[in-house]
Structure 1
Amino acid sequence: MSDRPPLWLPVAAAQDGLLTRRQLRRLGLSSDYVDTQLDARRWQEVSSTVLGTTTGVLTRRQLMWAGVLHAGERSALGGLTALERHGLERWHRDEITVLVEKSHNLEPIKGIHFVETRRPIPLLTASTALPTWRVEPAALLWAGYEPVTRSAYGLLSACVQQGLTTAIRLDSWITRMRPLRRAKPFRRLLGELAEGTQSAAERDVLTMCDTFRLPRPDRQKRRRDSGGRLRYTDAEWTLADGRVVVLEVDGGFHMHVEHWSADIERERQLIATGLIVIRCSAIELREHPERIVRDLRRLGVVESSA
């Protein structure tokens, strides 16, 4: 018997253990060879075109490979799946998104959403082994078609806040992505992000102040809490008597027990330094900003003279 490794092994190793029938034919391996592996249960059939050289449930990365291999050479991971690959946190979706060219008639694979697009997929794909769209087109296209406007703004803000890209790069890609839904409001948002707005919630705070004629607050200001730790406040106003009112905005992830507990400690230790701290949810900030304005005014934040 030959000690040489099988011809398919390097290809499979580069694709997390997955191969296509076409790749095997190119290597000179017959359908009988494939059937022998399947019958012996050394391999598994993932789809009519994709084979797994391991058994058991596919890992998430293997499922990503299965999607792009099944869709063919001119396909790539897109949307939130592409951003997950680039390191985006707290925007996980179980379903994997694979972008394919228009008029692609594909056999479905459970857990994979094949999305048709007329965009030039190869030109927008990053230089990675697993074909994945670049951060900017992936984020902008997802945000452009997301039904919930706030989620669209939140995603772009998260990409900038988490360091995946910059507001300037996203803005330049809007031109390259023409036509793009919501292009004008996206440019306004990115302009604010470039000036220092770090999240959709911060943008809503500025909108609230402008609407109700409150002075714009200082944002992401560095503070030492009572334990000596460095903190960044969401928004704060310095009153005429020298007191400082802080508004902390809780997003959805703050509802998780570990975040909620940490927020309580953070609030207590900021109050212990003499700050006046009030909190609101991101939903309340968007849906009922007048309630927050009422309480800020009662605490001494006066109407802006501008």
Structure 2
Amino acid sequence: MGDRLWRHLADVQAGLLSHRQLRELGVSRGEIRNHVRVGRWAARSGEVVSTTTGPLSPEQALWLGVLHGGSSAMVGALSAARERGLRRWDRDEITILVSNPMSFDPLPGYRFFRTRRPFKVLVGAGELPVCRLEPAVLMFAAHEPHLRTALGAVAATVQQRLTTADTLVDWLDRLTPLRRSRDLRDLLSDVGDGAHSMAEVDLRKACRDYGVQPPRSQRSRVDNRGRRRYTDAEWRLGDGRVLVLEIDGGVHDDPQQATLDRRRNRQLTSATRTVVQCSAWEIRHEPWEVMEDLLALGVPPVG
């Protein structure tokens, strides 16, 4: 009977079991040591074994961190966001949220982050305890050393259509007090107005700073080949024409990507729509240059 119980639990937990769970199922320390000694199981930490002996899969690595962290542990921060669908924000280190990081030994490759927030409020659905997307990324942003990285991760969740700015604001209220709440609210205000990247957020800030009318973002347009495109920023000019500004990030430095971008801009240009470009670097470090050019092209000032 006990054998069936631990086997069932191992199936649920990708082959990982904690000593505490095994003891509760009637498996003694001596039996655990014997399974490891003869090579049926492998010791993965001082408190966790696996019923497989090869390299850990990504899922097993998450279970190891959770089981090592104790009964109230869950996957958190960007590790949780990745499980919830966030892409291109991977980190080598796995973050585990715990109630008391001093109750167990450190584990290489893992960061155990203490939170006093209720487990049931944060954890999402599923057998593997993983923090919900919104609190995971907001709590990451509150403690990430670099503000721009912190804000970029939050903006990415909306850009990738995993959540909405309004939902994130609701979670900000639920997580109060939270470090950087003011910065996060300012960011989510811009994101709610249509900004989908940090470069677009920088553009809106530059417009406020230099008195330029803010743009409309992510407008749906059909190019001259009949394909639907979404523009970074647009302004309706006084003569009825539309000015489009496309902001090129680091990926656009690739020659092939740069060629595709230029082709896309040509195909979006028409008798009533002009497309111009700038770099994300310009918007962040030389915004006055871009603002002067936009005013010269007919973008109206505020007021």
1:260–1:28 distance in 2 versus 1, CA, 3 Å: farther
1:142–1:257 distance in 2 versus 1, CA, 3 Å: farther
Residue 63 of structure 2 corresponds to residue 65 of structure 1:
yes
- CA distance in 2 between partners of 1:229 and 1:101 (Å): 51
- CA distance in 2 between partners of 1:22 and 1:206 (Å): 53
Partner of residue 192, structure 2: 194
- CA distance in 2 between partners of 1:30 and 1:236 (Å): 68
- CA distance in 2 between partners of 1:127 and 1:256 (Å): 40
Do the aligned partners of 2:207 and 2:213 also contact (CA within 8 Å) in 1?
A: yes
Do the aligned partners of 1:99 and 1:121 also contact (CA within 8 Å) in 2?
A: no
Using the size of structure 1 for normalisation, the TM-score is 0.88
Any idea what SS the aligned residue of 1:286 has? helix
How many angstroms does 1:221 deviate by?
Answer: 1.7
Map 1:152-191 to 2 at 5 A.
Answer: 152-191=150-189
Match of 2:41 among 40, 43, 46: 43
Residue 59 of structure 2 corresponds to residue 76 of structure 1:
no
Partner of residue 95, structure 1: 93
Partner of residue 228, structure 1: 226
Partner letter of residue 171 of structure 1?
V
| Structure 1, 112-121 or 194-203: larger mean CA deviation | 194-203
How many angstroms does 1:259 deviate by?
Answer: 5.0
Q: What are the ranges of 5 or more consecutive residues in structure 2 without an aligned counterpart?
A: none
Partner letter of residue 251 of structure 1?
G
Partner of residue 219, structure 1: 217
- CA distance in 2 between partners of 1:260 and 1:40 (Å): 58
What whole-Å deviation, never above 9, does each CA across 1:179-199 have from its counterpart, x for those lacking one?
A: 111212322332333333333
- CA distance in 1 between partners of 2:143 and 2:71 (Å): 25
Partner of residue 298, structure 2: 301
Partner letter of residue 163 of structure 1?
R
| Structure 1, 81-90 or 231-240: larger mean CA deviation | 231-240
Match of 1:244 among 242, 245, 251: 242
How many angstroms does 1:23 deviate by?
Answer: 1.7
What whole-Å deviation, never above 9, does each CA across 1:126-180 have from its counterpart, x for those lacking one?
A: 1221111112211211111222222222222222232322222221222221211
- CA distance in 2 between partners of 1:260 and 1:96 (Å): 35
Partner of residue 17, structure 1: 15
Identity among equivalent positions (%) equals: 43
- CA distance in 1 between partners of 2:254 and 2:23 (Å): 51
How many angstroms does 1:98 deviate by?
Answer: 0.3
How many angstroms does 1:88 deviate by?
Answer: 0.9
- CA distance in 2 between partners of 1:252 and 1:8 (Å): 50
- CA distance in 1 between partners of 2:256 and 2:108 (Å): 33
- CA distance in 2 between partners of 1:256 and 1:52 (Å): 44
1:242–1:194 distance in 2 versus 1, CA, 3 Å: closer
- CA distance in 2 between partners of 1:33 and 1:257 (Å): 61
Any idea what SS the aligned residue of 1:114 has? strand
Using the size of structure 2 for normalisation, the TM-score is 0.89
